Structure 1
Amino acid sequence: MMKKKWKVLTIALFIIAIICGIIFSIENSKAKQDSKRFANITVTLFFHGFESSSHAEKQTVNSLKKRGATNTVIKANVSRTGHVLLTGKLPSKVKNPVVEVNFENNREADYSIDGKWTKNVVVALQKKYGMQKMNMVGHSMENMDIMYYLLANADNKKLPRLCKQVDIAGHFNGILGYSRINNAPINATGKPMKMDQAYRNLLPLRNKYPNKQVKVLNIYGNIGNGTDGRVSNNSSKSLKYLLNGRELSYQEYEIKGVSHSKLHESRRVDDLLDEFLYEE
């Protein structure tokens, strides 16, 4: 009787092992397929601002989905220690995938740390989906995260190639009410007469920014006083000097009557993004 039970148990375990092996093989095959899904597609990463979340990106992302510009949205959650968790389903035919990046620590003011976390997101997408080309869209402080990411990694050929960069309400040379220097006049090249320390730290980019590779769109709001209420237009426009003519193309757009936090809710901004990212 015992021999019969052991025989049945052995057969059952053998069948379970076979089933588990089949499931593992299917999952492993799917993982390998996923790791190549973004290989020949340009992925667009959206970064939210200070004290914000990926919820702030939904207006623009939903607009792009409604227009048919994308059919794929992936979530990238960055923990307080910089660990990245990717979630989302991939359709059989991926079109212009979008990544909504969410930082759990949305008050980190050390741009070097923010830049490292940005790299963690890029590497996670590269490992899981085989991402080789990307666009980056930042609002407010996250523009600095993108720039500090580039400061540390612009010459790293192992990382995905940056194709387009969109800066919305960027405070490259100081923030009103926070920085001592926040509205320094700029010349025709975008060079500020006075420079905030965080801006000075980015000056090496003038010789490191990817040469003739990245198309740049710089958007800022003006509520009628040369600021968007939080960032001066001079601070936003000082991006141009950091690029030093190394960008493939550069466009500036002033959105009149729209404040800092409302820029990512602006239909005009949605139109500009759609045209710049997908219609060129």
Structure 2
Amino acid sequence: MKKLLFAFGIFLIVLGLGLQLFFLRGTKGQALRPNELRSNIAYNDVPTLLIPGWGGNGWTYSKLIKHYQAENIAQKTMTIHVSPTGKVKVKGTVAHKKNALIQLIFDWNYTKDYVPQTKWLKKTITLLHERYHVDKLNIIAHSWGGSAFVHAVADSKILQKQVAYPKVILLGTPIDESFDENISYRQAQKQGSNDENYKQLVKKFKRFAPQSNITFYNLMGAVAGEKTDGSVPNVQSKFLQKLLRPAWSKYYQAVYQGVDHTGLHQNVRVLDTMDKILWNKKTIALKEQ
């Protein structure tokens, strides 16, 4: 019996490692088809970095990448792996690639908070700038991946001054984790925060000075008529706007009814909104969905 239990335990470990390796694979890239370029799409040289949230991996943005490639809107041209020790490994290029997608994968993304991801992001974006000459970068970030990005740029004057972020899309990103879905954003502001990470952000954003304007798009989900996507209450995400200043930012938000936390990077309604934000020739107005 002991041998059987031992063998079963080994099987589970091997299975778990196999699944982990499977989910760390990057999504296959597909080049834009020159003879099928779309008249409503602006094909430009600004790459988009795809940042997963806690526990996220190669699967997180797989549907997004395949959808945009099938529609001939964008192309995945680079994969970045970051090891648990912070070693950054890059495969591919963004040079001379229109509407390039960069798939970022943290090889161990099961941390107690987003502090490691914040450090890894600072290294990753710095490397993109110094080695690959990326001086403009759009962002799509899910959940704690968005939290890590906001903290990373707030922490670093270098990232603020050397790289421009024309469009930043946050998906179900908690900014102030003090509150649950039972309190409104207005009430929460009056009550005041007890989230030390948010309090640090407030201080850092008072000195925040990006090289050019950033347009933030705060996309949230709502399930079962509640003011939460099932994991992150909308009120936590809405505190992003408290950090921003009109002198260097614009802010838009939308809540997608019937879309849960995972659906924010899977649901076609959200994917269609994001491609219009990033690459549509006409400016779109976000609406509550």
* TM-score bucket of the superposed structures, by smaller chain: 0.7 to 0.9
Which amino acid in structure 2 is aligned with residue 241 of structure 1? K
Which amino acid in structure 1 is aligned with residue 192 of structure 2? K
1:202 aligns with 2:201: yes
Q: Which residue of 2 aligns with 1:222?
A: 222
Does structure 1 conserve the Cα–Cα contact (< 8 Å) formed by 2:122 and 2:153?
no
How large is the Cα RMSD of the aligned pairs?
A: 2.4
Q: Which residue of 2 aligns with 1:250?
A: 251
Which residues in structure 2 correspond to 1:81-230 (within 5 Å)?
Answer: 81-88=85-92, 93-154=96-157, 156=159, 159-174=162-177, 181-183=179-181, 184-187=183-186, 191=189, 193-195=191-193, 196-210=195-209, 213-223=213-223, 224-230=225-231
CA distance in 1, matches of 2:121, 2:168: 14
The Cα shift of 1:187 comes to 2.5
Which amino acid in structure 2 is aligned with residue 200 of structure 1? K
The Cα shift of 1:168 comes to 0.2
CA distance in 2, matches of 1:89, 1:151: 27
The number of residues matched between the two structures is: 234
Change over 3 Å in CA distance of 1:134–1:234 after alignment to 2: same
1:63 aligns with 2:106: no
Q: What SS class does the counterpart of residue 42 from structure 1 fall into?
A: coil
Does structure 1 conserve the Cα–Cα contact (< 8 Å) formed by 2:79 and 2:103?
yes
Q: What SS class does the counterpart of residue 144 from structure 1 fall into?
A: helix
Does structure 2 conserve the Cα–Cα contact (< 8 Å) formed by 1:192 and 1:238?
no
1:51 aligns with 2:50: no
The Cα shift of 1:220 comes to 0.3
Which amino acid in structure 1 is aligned with residue 199 of structure 2? R
Change over 3 Å in CA distance of 1:192–1:276 after alignment to 2: farther
Does structure 2 conserve the Cα–Cα contact (< 8 Å) formed by 1:140 and 1:171?
yes
CA distance in 2, matches of 1:124, 1:186: 37
The Cα shift of 1:247 comes to 4.5
CA distance in 1, matches of 2:145, 2:130: 23
CA distance in 1, matches of 2:113, 2:162: 23
Does structure 1 conserve the Cα–Cα contact (< 8 Å) formed by 2:172 and 2:220?
yes
Does structure 1 conserve the Cα–Cα contact (< 8 Å) formed by 2:77 and 2:101?
yes
CA distance in 1, matches of 2:248, 2:262: 27
Which amino acid in structure 2 is aligned with residue 208 of structure 1? R
Change over 3 Å in CA distance of 1:193–1:64 after alignment to 2: farther
Unaligned runs of 5+ in 2: 1-43, 284-289
Q: Which residue of 1 aligns with 2:4?
A: none
TM-score by length of 1: 0.76
Q: Which residue of 2 aligns with 1:7?
A: none
Change over 3 Å in CA distance of 1:192–1:74 after alignment to 2: farther
Q: Which residue of 1 aligns with 2:270?
A: 269
CA distance in 1, matches of 2:73, 2:190: 37
Q: Based on CA coordinates, which of the two structures has the bigger radius of gyration?
A: 1
Change over 3 Å in CA distance of 1:89–1:242 after alignment to 2: closer
Change over 3 Å in CA distance of 1:107–1:249 after alignment to 2: same
Which amino acid in structure 2 is aligned with residue 81 of structure 1? T
CA distance in 2, matches of 1:254, 1:154: 32
Unaligned runs of 5+ in 1: 1-39, 175-179
Which amino acid in structure 2 is aligned with residue 222 of structure 1? A
Q: What SS class does the counterpart of residue 115 from structure 1 fall into?
A: helix
Deviates more, 1:226-235 or 1:55-64: 55-64
CA distance in 1, matches of 2:127, 2:154: 19
Deviations 1:132-190 (A, max 9, x none): 1001111011011111111112565653212111100011122xxxxx644453229x8
CA distance in 2, matches of 1:155, 1:129: 16
Change over 3 Å in CA distance of 1:153–1:50 after alignment to 2: same
The Cα shift of 1:123 comes to 1.8
Identity %, equivalent residues: 23
CA distance in 2, matches of 1:204, 1:252: 23
